[in-house]
Structure formats: C-alpha cells, structure tokens
A and B are shown apart, each in its own frame.
Chain A
Amino acid sequence: MKFIKYITLVSLFGVSACVEQMVMIPENPTIDTERVVLLEELTGVDCPNCPKGALAAKEIQANFPGQIVVVAIHGEFLAEPLSTSNYDFRFPEAEDLENYLKPWDGKPAAAINRTEVEGSSEFSETNTDLWQGIVEDELAKTHVLNLIADVNYNPDTRTVQVNTAGNPLVNLEGDYNITVMLTENHIIDAQKNVSVIIDDYEHEHVLRMFLTPFDGTFFGSNLGAGELYNNGFSGTLPDEDGTWIAENMEVVVLVHRVDGSHKEVMQAFITDVTE
C-alpha cells in the first residue's frame, strides 16, 4: 500500500505541469543587407557525410540568393582520391587553409566568415543543421565593407587577371588581408556518400588555386571609412584535363582580419572567371 501511495505522489508531481505553450515555426527570413557571407566547407571525397554538407550549403545559398559564397576545401583529412576517382582535388595550399581553420572536430564542417562558433574556440561547426543559423547571424551584422572585383580572362594564355576594390564604410581597426581564390563547379567524379560511392557525383565550388598566399596578402591596417583600397592579382590556369574548365570557374575574393586569433571575414565577393 505504501508503495502505491508513493507512486501516486510521484505521478501527481509528474503531471502537474505538463502543459506548455506551443512553439511556432516561422517562415525563413529575408535579410536585407549588402553583406556577403563566406561559407568554407571542409570536405573530402573520402568523407562519407560530406555530400550532406554540400547539400546544406546549397540549401543555404538557395535561401539567401546572392548573399552566400561557398568554397569547398579538399585539404588533407578524408580527401585522398578514391579507387574510382579521376581527379585529385588536394593541393598544398588547400591543406594549409584546412590547417589554418583548425581546430575542428571532423568533416563535414563549415567555417562561416571564420568566426568562432559560439561557446567554442573552433572556427567551424560540424553539425550541418546549424550552419544556416550561423549564416543568418552573420548576415544580420552591420555591413562594413564594400568589395568588388573585375576579372579579365585570356583564353589563349589562360591567364586570369583580377583587380579588386575595397571601400570600408566605417573605420576598421586592426590588420586586414585580402585573399583571392579560384573555385570550380560541375566536376563529375567519385564521392563517398554514407554507405556508397557515387562515381558521377557533381562536385561544386571546389577550391582549385590561390592568386594570393592561402592566408591572403596585406590589404591594410586601421582602415579608414570612405578610403579606397585597390589591388591586382593574376594567375594562369593549368591545361584542361577534364577539369580546369574556365567557363566553370569562379573567382572568390575576401577581406579578412589577421590579428592573432582574429580571422573573421569582413566581406566576400564572387564572380565568374569568364564574366
């Protein structure tokens, strides 16, 4: 009898406050800003969950058209070509950038504007479900720098000339670098996907080369509002081998802090190589 009495007491305690207000799910927001956010996806062809990361990035781009720049970094970890791979996306600077964004817990992971993940000392988030929330937070920040680039591609020599212009809208303290990367879309090659290898997987935003050092080149210190910062960079595309197709390639430009552990990206810009 005692036991039944105690069970009743416990049950009463349990059901005493079971009613709560229902949580409402809002529509996806539209964020009106000139900010363009960089999403660097740490990925690899040997990474079983990385296609999920690519889909998450694609979905975020669709939710915020023109406001997200995606770069897929095939560094060292889980990036070794598969037995059925035709191409190797790794190169030393991609590995350097992957290390530059460490520590991270694994792949897929995304470094979003190279800001520290809340509650962590890491620059990247491995939970793909959380990427959009971080992107929204970054888009909601004040737009502080206009950044544009003009690209000239010579199909005969395969040289790419990129002229950039940066214009701070507020005074920005600290040291800043500018990085210029080339990425490539529509590369059909093998990719692990959970329990299978997809031989004709379409790789997007693959980081192929830098026109600057992997961590950028000096852009300026203590940037003044309204000042104009112009730079020029060039590089030559290797011969086509099924990849390095200029029409599929994009130029990504970013201005970012380089003070100690501060690496955050102020603004990103993307345009086609053959614009």
Chain B
Amino acid sequence: MQYRRKSNLLCFILIAGMIISFSQLYGQDKGSFSGGFVANGNIFIRDSLIGAAGIPQYDQELFGSEVWLNLNYRKSGYDLRLRFDAFNNSNLLNPNSSYTDEGIGYWYISKQMEKLGVAVGYIYDQIGSGIIFRSFEQRPQLIDNALIGGKLTYKLGENWDARAFAGRQKFLFGRNPAEIKGVSIEGFVNLADSTSTKAFSLAPGIGFVNRTLTEETIETLVDVIKNYTPQDQIKPVYNTYMLSVFNTLSYGKFNLYTELAYKTPEVFTDPFQTRITILGDEVEGRLVKEAGTVAYGSLAFADKGIGITLEAKRTENFDIRTDPTLTQNFGLINFIPPMNRLNTYRLTSRYSPATQLISEQAIQFDVKYNPSRKLGFNVNFSNITDLDGDLLYREIYTEVSIKKKRDWLLLAGLQLQSYNQEIYEVKPEVPLVNTITPYVDFLYRFTRKKSLRVEAQYMLTEEDFGSWVYGLAELGMAPHWIFEISGMYNIAPSKNSPTDVNGESLKILYPTLGVTYINKSNRFNVRYVKQVEGVVCSGGICRLEPAFSGVRMSVSSTF
C-alpha cells in the first residue's frame, strides 16, 4: 500500500511535470491546456425508519466525499492527461459500505504521427457498440473500467482505420486480473454515385478481443469446480475469444445498424443454474462453460418532423468479466446496450431494467412526430423477456409537448410499466410491479432571466411501496441561481413500505430542498435529500441503491 502511494505520487509529479515542461519548452506553440474539477460531499443523517441506517456512514462516520481533478494538455500531436481521485468514506463503490482511498486514478499519453497513433496509460475505448469490449467511466456508480496498457491506431486509407490494444482492466487504484487484447478495423464506403443527392453508404467494422485469465484466477475456479459433482464439473480455459461484426447502412432517410457478436465457450457464473452438492442439496447458481452470442439491430428513419426508431436485441450467455467469480457490475469488460427508454422524471424512472447478460430478448419502438414547431408527440414501446419468453419489463410511454414561443413549454404524458422486480432486484415472492404514471412538466418564463419549472407525477401501483405522488418546483434566475423544492410522497403505501411499531404501513414524505449557484464554468450545488430505496441507472447500467438521508453537496468546474 505504502509502495503504491509512493509510486502514485511519483507518477503524479512526473506527468504534471511533463505537462508543465511541454508548455514551457514550446513557448511559441503553447498548445491547449484544460482541466476539470468535481467534488461531492455527503453528510449522512441516520433515518432508520426509511432504511438509511446500518452502514458505517450513518452509524459512525457521518461524512463522506469524492474528488476528481483532471488536467489535459494537447500540443503538436501530443495528448497528455492526468486525473487525481480521492474517496473518503464514500458510498459510491458499494452503497452498503464505506470506501476510502486516494491516488492517481488516470493518466494517458498519446502521440499522432501521420498515419500512426500511439497511446499508453489508462485507455477508454470501445469496439462497435461495446458488446465485446468497452472500457469506460461511470462515476455515479464508481465504475471505471479503463484499460491500463497501450493502444496503436493506423490509418489504412482515407476511410479505413485499424487499431490494436492490450492491457489489464483498472479497478479502483489497482488492476483486475486477466489480460485483454483486441484489434479492430472500421471503415466507410460511399456507395452513392456522384450525381445522386441521396446518401447511400456503409460503415462496416470487425473487432476481435481475447481475454486471458491469470493462473491465480484459474486456480480459484478449480478450487470451486472441484467441489462440484462429476456431472456439473467443467474445465475452465485460460483464453476466451470474442468476435464482433457490425455495420451501419445509410440509405436516404434510413439508417440501419447491425451487430453480431460471438464468444467462444468460457466459464462464467450463471445464477439461474442449479447444482447438487455432495450431500444431495440443491444450490442455485453455478459456474458453467458456454459459448455466447448477441445480435443487435437498430433501424432508424428520419424526415422533416418525424423520427422512427426500431431496435431489437437477443443476448445469450454474454457475461464476460476479468474474473468469472466477480458479480454485479464488477469486472465487466463489455457493455450491452439497454433496450428501454432512458427516463428522467423521478417517478417514470423509478423502475428501470438492468441489462440481462445471460438471457434476454428485447424490442423497442420509438416514434417522434412534430407537426409544427409548437406541437410534438413521442410514443415509445419496449418489451423485454428472457429467452424462455418470461416477461422482464414492458413499457409504453407517451408524451405531448406544446410550446408557446419563448413564454412557456408544456410536456405531459402517460407511462405504463410492468417490471419484474423479482429478477431485477432479487426480491423473493414479489409479483410483477405494474404502474400507471401520468406526468406533467410545465416551464414558464417570466422574463428572459427568470423562469419557473413545475413537475407533477402520480404513480399508481399496488405493488412494492404502493402509489406515489411527486411534485417539484424549480425557480431559475439566470445566469447564477437555481432553487429547487420537491417531495415524493408515499400516498398509498403497500407491503414494502416502512411500518410503525404496530406493523401499519406509513405514508412518508421524502423531501428535497436544493440550491445551485453557477458562475461561469463553476457550479455549486447543495441539497437536503431524503430518498427512498430504488434502482439507480446511469448510462444504461443499473444497481439497487438503499435509501438515502442527508445533505449532498457538489462543486464542478472546468478550465
């Protein structure tokens, strides 16, 4: 640990020094220097009634924070980046525990030399839509899957690019085991003849990724598998190969994206399989060895005032991690696109389906129609099942927008959902959650600088916590101030709602009060928050988070 801290410090000084000396060495060509700073602070106020208790932050620590500082410098084809991360009693990594550490979270150096590009450090990248490889950062859940290693890019021609990379996946300030190597070629072919006004092109690509497990991981797998009865025993492999072929076909107003991915047989944990122990007991979940496939397609049509998108996806056994014993969002080296609408309102986003990696088939249909500048319609339908056809999630979402010049904007609609809480939240004996949620969002501009936005939503359901009503008022005083007050009220509680000493369900108000101050590129935010337990999704990745009670502060700045 001590060694890592020293090497982190050394690394920080080295790269910061390089950034400074680069900017001084080439005095004439100063390049461009930029950066960003984000800090979050939490004050945890214990509230055992809503379940905000039982973790160190509520019971002992009381305060927590996270800090990220980015420095970037670009000059003469060089790109230098550095990020310092610090976590203090943070609940981002695991909402049920506390995490404290600090150090260099990211550094990156790249140089473009005509057709050849080289990069080393922490690399964020993806192949196709990310189905066989994606390294990315998702701060709200402290996912930072950067690939620590090197990358080469080469321009094969005017419209063709090749790239190769190798490294290990970052985990916090260390590395996950397994070596990851990949190559890809992507291009663009214009098929339209020179006299045509209609676009007609292909953007094909192919990617190949290899993941090699470490000897230590294989030993761990062997330790597990040797306890299995002979019929359940499998032989792990060090190497897994993944291939993805993808293409975007553009023809006039149509766009068709398709991607097919295949993974050679490898060992992963299937929570839906059972095994029999040596004592004859049945245990849910076991390591299996299977090949995997994903087929994904998206057809889009866009014309004046109308946009239609149809998406379909089928996933089978595509859970690829740096270590097959890792679970939840840990160690994933790929990203499979979600197939539901990314909702933003408090109640319409309360039940969000996490992408299923073992067994999922889904379709999504979205239509946007704007007959005039003042009027717009949006209808979205998504249906997700497992490969046996059992319903996981269904949503029908409608929205109407009416706008009166710059004076006001009204958005209103209705959402219908069916949500398989048993699968998504691993809650036993719970039925499908069926909801009906009307909502309205009204923005009124008093002057060019002063505006008021009001939201109202009602979620009707008999399942989970029962029905909710939500209201928000947000006063904007441009360019500096935003004041917010909102409340989520459990108007018709159900069996999962908090209860009093007599076991009676309680009608609880979860209020939020907040103020935001913006000064140029600096943003300061303070909010008092009481938040019910629920699924939190960011960038299509979801997890179940416990209730929160306390004060959240954030500062963000770019320079």
Q: Please list the residues of chain A having a beta carbon within 8 angstroms of any beta carbon in chain B.
A: 2-3, 6-7, 10-11, 13-14, 17-18, 20, 22-28, 48-49, 52, 55-56, 58-59, 62-63, 76-77, 99, 102-106, 119, 122, 127, 129-130, 132-133, 136, 192-197
A6 CA to B269 CA, complexed, in Å: 35
A127 touches B325 (CB 8 A): yes
Q: Note all chain A residues with C-beta closer than 8 A to B285.
A: 52
A-B contact pairs, 27 of them (CB 8 A): A2-B156, A2-B160, A2-B187, A3-B204, A6-B206, A7-B185, A11-B208, A14-B210, A14-B241, A20-B238, A24-B235, A26-B226, A52-B284, A55-B283, A56-B283, A58-B277, A58-B279, A59-B227, A59-B278, A59-B279, A77-B54, A105-B96, A105-B97, A132-B224, A132-B227, A133-B224, A192-B429
Other CB < 8 Å A-B pairs besides A6-B187, A20-B238, A105-B97, 5 of them? A2-B157, A55-B283, A59-B281, A129-B224, A132-B224
Which of B96, B224, B241 is A106 in contact with, Cβ under 8 Å?
B96
How far, in Å, is B170 (CB) from chain A's closest CB?
14
A133 CA to B225 CA, complexed, in Å: 11
How far, in Å, is A133 (CB) from chain B's closest CB?
4
Given contacts A20-B237, A52-B285, contact A10 B183 (CB under 8 A): yes
A99 CA to B59 CA, complexed, in Å: 10
B97 touches A103 (CB 8 A): yes
Given contacts A76-B54, A77-B54, contact A197 B227 (CB under 8 A): no
A49 CA to B283 CA, complexed, in Å: 10
A122 CA to B96 CA, complexed, in Å: 13
Q: Note all chain A residues with C-beta closer than 8 A to B363.
A: none
Determine whether B518 belongs to the interface, using a CB cutoff of 8 Å to chain A: no
Determine whether B218 belongs to the interface, using a CB cutoff of 8 Å to chain A: yes
Determine whether B27 belongs to the interface, using a CB cutoff of 8 Å to chain A: no
Given contacts A28-B227, A52-B284, A133-B224, contact A102 B97 (CB under 8 A): yes
A7 CA to B325 CA, complexed, in Å: 33
Closest residue of A by beta carbon distance from B219 = A133
B426 touches A136 (CB 8 A): no
Closest residue of B by beta carbon distance from A103 = B97
A156 CA to B234 CA, complexed, in Å: 55
A244 CA to B158 CA, complexed, in Å: 80
Closest residue of A by beta carbon distance from B185 = A6
**Per-residue CB proximity of B230-262 to A under 8 Å, as 1/0?**
000101111101010000000000000000000
A48 touches B96 (CB 8 A): no
B429 touches A197 (CB 8 A): yes
How far, in Å, is B55 (CB) from chain A's closest CB?
8
How far, in Å, is B266 (CB) from chain A's closest CB?
12
Closest residue of B by beta carbon distance from A26 = B226
Q: Note all chain A residues with C-beta closer than 8 A to B278.
A: 59, 62-63
Determine whether B504 belongs to the interface, using a CB cutoff of 8 Å to chain A: no
A3 CA to B191 CA, complexed, in Å: 14
Determine whether B273 belongs to the interface, using a CB cutoff of 8 Å to chain A: no
A18 CA to B241 CA, complexed, in Å: 8
Determine whether B422 belongs to the interface, using a CB cutoff of 8 Å to chain A: yes
B226 touches A25 (CB 8 A): yes
How far, in Å, is A118 (CB) from chain B's closest CB?
9
**Per-residue CB proximity of B199-233 to A under 8 Å, as 1/0?**
00000101010100000001010111111000001
Which of B94, B287, B428 is A197 in contact with, Cβ under 8 Å?
B428
B236 touches A196 (CB 8 A): no
Q: Among residues 266 to 305 in chain B, which have CB atoms less than 8 Å away from a CB atom of chain A? A: 269, 277-279, 281, 283-285, 287
A195 touches B281 (CB 8 A): no
Which of B56, B156, B241 is A6 in contact with, Cβ under 8 Å?
B156
How far, in Å, is B56 (CB) from chain A's closest CB?
7
Q: Note all chain A residues with C-beta closer than 8 A to B451.
A: none
Q: Note all chain B residues with C-beta closer than 8 A to A63.
A: 227, 278
B208 touches A10 (CB 8 A): yes
How far, in Å, is A28 (CB) from chain B's closest CB?
6
Which of B98, B174, B235, B284 is A25 in contact with, Cβ under 8 Å?
B235
A75 CA to B533 CA, complexed, in Å: 21
How far, in Å, is A62 (CB) from chain B's closest CB?
6
How far, in Å, is A88 (CB) from chain B's closest CB?
14
How far, in Å, is B194 (CB) from chain A's closest CB?
20
Q: Note all chain B residues with C-beta closer than 8 A to A129.
A: 224, 269, 287, 325
Q: Note all chain A residues with C-beta closer than 8 A to B243.
A: 14
Closest residue of A by beta carbon distance from B283 = A55
How far, in Å, is B332 (CB) from chain A's closest CB?
16
A155 CA to B115 CA, complexed, in Å: 88
Given contacts A58-B279, A59-B279, contact A194 B284 (CB under 8 A): yes
B327 touches A127 (CB 8 A): yes
A173 CA to B412 CA, complexed, in Å: 71
Which of B187, B206, B287 is A10 in contact with, Cβ under 8 Å?
B206
Q: Note all chain B residues with C-beta closer than 8 A to A196.
A: 428-429
A6 touches B97 (CB 8 A): no
A105 CA to B95 CA, complexed, in Å: 9
Q: Note all chain A residues with C-beta closer than 8 A to B208.
A: 10-11, 13-14
How far, in Å, is B131 (CB) from chain A's closest CB?
16
A55 touches B281 (CB 8 A): yes
In the complex, the 3 A-B pairs of residues with the closest C-beta atoms, listed nearest first: A133-B223, A103-B97, A129-B224
Q: Note all chain B residues with C-beta closer than 8 A to A7.
A: 185, 206
B54 touches A18 (CB 8 A): no
